[in-house]
């Protein structure tokens, strides 16, 4: 609740004397004007107030939660109401704030008295038209307390209240057991920021796959009116992740590249820099460009985490990822969904550490756009056609392999010029093992790629995966929707492969 948000800074922070409603001297751990973060996750939505001296109907503002987000701007002008009150015994602010039971704070005017006393103890110039950060731990009385604080802040002339908003969707899978200890207990997020946090044997009748299709509820929240600033999801066994900003999806290929580009600066584990970077072959080339700029060893491996493991065992690799939402590092030698979420929060926190009160905070989309401005954007999409007839899917791959065998540099594919085409083979630099036929690739002279792979051939049929990528160095074109930017390549991929003819499929099951 608010009293926690105002006192959550360490006791070593700046101190100043305050007078409370009992006229007792007390020490408050941080002046209102100096509050910049509710907790180590500096992600906020704002509530703005117009000139409070003008009279109009009052406004009720909802407190923040994962399921009900507050309006960003209060459009009506606020009516100021003066309420007589009496002092309360024992209302003395200490270095850890005002520690009382909830039932004490629920007394009429108790919380209001304390908040007003804090404002009264400050020079008006410290808060008039200023910004107040507000958040809570989500427990009982949290919403009511937030309403009281917002109203008193407006009545005292505070111009804006920042409300922290974060949501993690555990998809009723294993990370639900870790989400509360990490995000709530350690980082101070509200308990209601954890969605689907109870692990269930049937995953709550859902499919615990963190992508835009199967995590649609989370996506709808982030893309809704005034959605949270940061959202993330993890899969059934917790090794994969999806990262979202407000109305913004971060592709797995971009995610690992951005983590790698910022790791040394923002993550203490990498303070001496990563040893090397790697991605699976179908993953976009965004990570390649980071490795080149940072002069780091880089590896392109087949799909399958074991190839990363070999490189880590030899000390050749620190950060790696795959387009199928797997991201990891050598801290445990595996992909780790929660680690990726924490890496992103570290980046966001670092980017905002020097922000002054009232300044616009750096968002997820800002981080991604800045990365594209530096490295260029790799437009990327994956089309999954699940449970295709195995016979037709295999015939399509054989047809493509035959086409590759006849292809040569300079061949024209519509407006694209072929650089090379192959069926990806890999020789492990650690043990010398060779893996062949890992995906049919068409790579064009402008850096564009089309890749075809089969996955999960068996009694349930095959999944045909089509990967489409196009590099765009021009920052003025980075805002184009990925599906729009990639449409010529997508059309080329479908026509070249004769996918509909071989599989009978009109539309993909999942688009990422």
Q: Which CATH architecture has domain 378-511?
A: 2-Layer Sandwich (3.30)
Helix (H) or strand (E) holding 160: strand 160-164
Q: Which one-letter DSSP state was computed for residue 362?
A: P
Structural tokens at position 464: 């045909």
305 class by beta-carbon count within 10 Å (0-12 exposed, 13-18 middle, 19+ buried): middle
**The dihedral of CA 437, 440, 446, 447: what is its sign?**
negative
**Residue position matching structure tokens 């449409």:** 487
Residue 343 contacts residue 267 (beta carbons within 8 Å): yes
**Residue position matching structure tokens 């917790």:** 238
- Write the CB contacts of 435 (distance below 8 Å, at least 6 apart in sequence): 302, 307, 425, 426, 428
Residue 418 contacts residue 324 (beta carbons within 8 Å): no
Residue 138 contacts residue 193 (beta carbons within 8 Å): yes
CATH number at 2-164 = 3.40.120
Determine the 3-state secondary structure of 361 from DSSP.
Answer: coil
Helix (H) or strand (E) holding 385: strand 377-388
Residue 48 contacts residue 160 (beta carbons within 8 Å): yes
75 class by beta-carbon count within 10 Å (0-12 exposed, 13-18 middle, 19+ buried): exposed
Instruction: Give pTM, 2 decimals.
Output: 0.73
One fold for both 2-164 and 251-353? yes
Residue 380 contacts residue 468 (beta carbons within 8 Å): yes
Determine the 3-state secondary structure of 178 from DSSP.
Answer: helix
In this structure, the number of other CB atoms found within 10 A of the CB of residue 468 comes to 26
Determine the 3-state secondary structure of 158 from DSSP.
Answer: coil
How far apart, in whole angstroms, are the C-alpha atoms of residue 64 and residue 189?
11
The per-residue pLDDT for 435 is: 93
Q: In Å, how far are 41, 118, 286, 370, 448 from 258, measured between CA atoms?
A: 18, 41, 9, 10, 20
**Residue-by-residue DSSP string for 344-402:** HHHHHHHHHTTPPTTSPPP-HHHHHHHHHHHH-EEEEEEEEEEEE-HHHHHHHHHHHHH
Residue 497 contacts residue 466 (beta carbons within 8 Å): yes
Structural tokens at position 196: 């689907």
Listed as own residue / partner, the contacts of 138-143 with beta carbons closer than 8 Å and 24 or more positions apart are 138/65, 138/184, 138/190, 138/191, 138/192, 138/193, 139/1, 139/102, 139/191, 140/102, 141/1, 141/102, 141/105, 141/106, 142/1, 142/63, 142/190, 143/62, 143/63, 143/65
Q: How many residues are present in the chain?
A: 512
Residue 133 contacts residue 38 (beta carbons within 8 Å): yes
Of 179, 169, 322, nearest to 255 by C-alpha is: 322
Residue 41 contacts residue 188 (beta carbons within 8 Å): yes
Residue 473 contacts residue 512 (beta carbons within 8 Å): no
Q: What is the pLDDT along the chain (512 residues), one digit of tens a residue?
A: 222 222 222 222 222 223 333 333 332 232 222 222 223 333 334 444 444 333 333 333 322 333 333 333 334 455 677 778 888 888 888 766 788 888 999 999 999 999 988 888 888 888 887 778 776 655 678 778 888 888 888 888 887 777 667 889 999 988 989 998 998 888 878 788 898 888 888 888 888 888 888 899 999 999 988 788 899 999 888 899 999 999 999 999 999 999 999 999 999 999 999 999 999 999 999 999 999 999 999 999 999 899 999 999 999 999 999 999 999 999 988 999 999 999 999 999 999 988 876 678 899 999 999 999 999 999 999 999 999 999 999 999 999 999 999 999 999 999 999 999 999 999 999 999 999 999 999 999 999 999 999 986 444 689 999 999 999 999 999 999 999 999 999 999 999 999 999 999 999 998 98
Instruction: Give the start-to-end residue ranges of the domains of the chain.
Output: 2-164, 251-353, 378-511
The per-residue pLDDT for 51 is: 41
**Residue position matching structure tokens 């801290």:** 331
Of 475, 361, 348, nearest to 46 by C-alpha is: 361
The per-residue pLDDT for 143 is: 77
261 class by beta-carbon count within 10 Å (0-12 exposed, 13-18 middle, 19+ buried): buried
Say what the alpha-carbon torsion angle 185, 188, 189, 191 is, to the nearest 10 degrees: 40
Is it true that domain 251-353 has CATH number 3.40.120.10? yes
How far apart, in whole angstroms, are the C-alpha atoms of residue 154 and residue 423?
65
């Amino acid at each position: 609740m608010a009293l926690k948000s105002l006192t959550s800074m360490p006791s070593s922070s700046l101190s100043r004397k305050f007078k409370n409603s009992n006229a007792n001297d007390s020490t408050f751990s941080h002046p209102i004007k100096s509050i910049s973060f509710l907790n180590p996750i500096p992600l906020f939505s704002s509530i703005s107030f117009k000139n409070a001296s003008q009279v109009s109907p009052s406004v009720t503002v909802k407190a923040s939660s994962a399921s009900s987000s507050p309006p960003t701007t209060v459009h009506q002008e606020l009516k100021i109401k003066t309420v007589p009150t009496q002092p309360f015994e024992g209302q003395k602010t200490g270095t850890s704030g005002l520690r009382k039971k909830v039932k004490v704070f629920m007394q009429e005017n108790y919380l209001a008295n304390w908040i007003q006393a804090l404002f009264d103890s400050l020079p008006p110039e410290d808060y008039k038209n200023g910004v107040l950060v507000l958040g809570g731990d989500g427990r009982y009385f949290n919403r009511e307390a937030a309403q009281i604080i917002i109203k008193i802040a407006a009545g005292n002339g505070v111009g804006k209240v920042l409300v922290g908003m974060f949501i993690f969707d555990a998809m009723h899978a294993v990370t639900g057991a870790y989400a509360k200890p990490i995000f709530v207990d350690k980082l101070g997020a509200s308990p209601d920021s954890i969605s689907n946090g109870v692990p269930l044997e049937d995953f709550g009748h859902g499919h615990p796959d963190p992508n835009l299709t199967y995590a649609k509820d989370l996506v709808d929240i982030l893309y809704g009116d005034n959605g949270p600033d940061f959202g993330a999801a993890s899969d059934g066994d917790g090794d994969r992740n999806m990262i979202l900003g407000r109305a913004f999806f971060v592709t797995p290929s971009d995610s690992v590249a951005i983590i790698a580009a910022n790791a040394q600066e923002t993550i203490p584990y990498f303070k001496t820099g990563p040893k090397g970077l790697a991605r699976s072959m179908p993953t976009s080339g965004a990570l390649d460009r980071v490795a080149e700029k940072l002069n780091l060893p880089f590896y392109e491996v087949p799909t399958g985490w074991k190839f990363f493991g070999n490189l880590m065992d030899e000390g050749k690799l620190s950060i790696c990822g795959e387009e199928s939402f797997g991201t990891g590092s050598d801290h445990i030698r595996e992909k780790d969904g929660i680690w990726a979420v924490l890496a992103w929060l570290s980046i966001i926190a670092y980017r905002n550490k020097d922000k002054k009160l009232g300044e616009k905070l750096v968002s997820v989309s800002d981080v991604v756009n800045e990365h594209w401005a530096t490295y260029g954007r790799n437009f990327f999409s994956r089309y999954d056609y699940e449970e295709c007839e195995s016979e037709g899917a295999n015939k399509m791959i054989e047809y493509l392999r035959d086409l590759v065998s006849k292809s040569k540099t300079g061949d024209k594919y519509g407006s694209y010029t072929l650089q090379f085409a192959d069926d990806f083979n890999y020789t492990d630099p650690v043990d010398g093992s060779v893996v062949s036929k890992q995906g049919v690739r068409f790579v064009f002279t402008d850096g564009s790629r089309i890749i075809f792979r089969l996955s999960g051939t068996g009694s349930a049929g095959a999944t045909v995966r089509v990967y489409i990528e196009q590099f765009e160095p021009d920052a003025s074109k980075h805002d184009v929707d990925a599906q729009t930017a990639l449409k010529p390549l997508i059309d080329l991929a479908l026509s070249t492969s004769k996918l509909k003819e071989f599989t009978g499929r009109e539309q993909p099951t999942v688009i990422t």
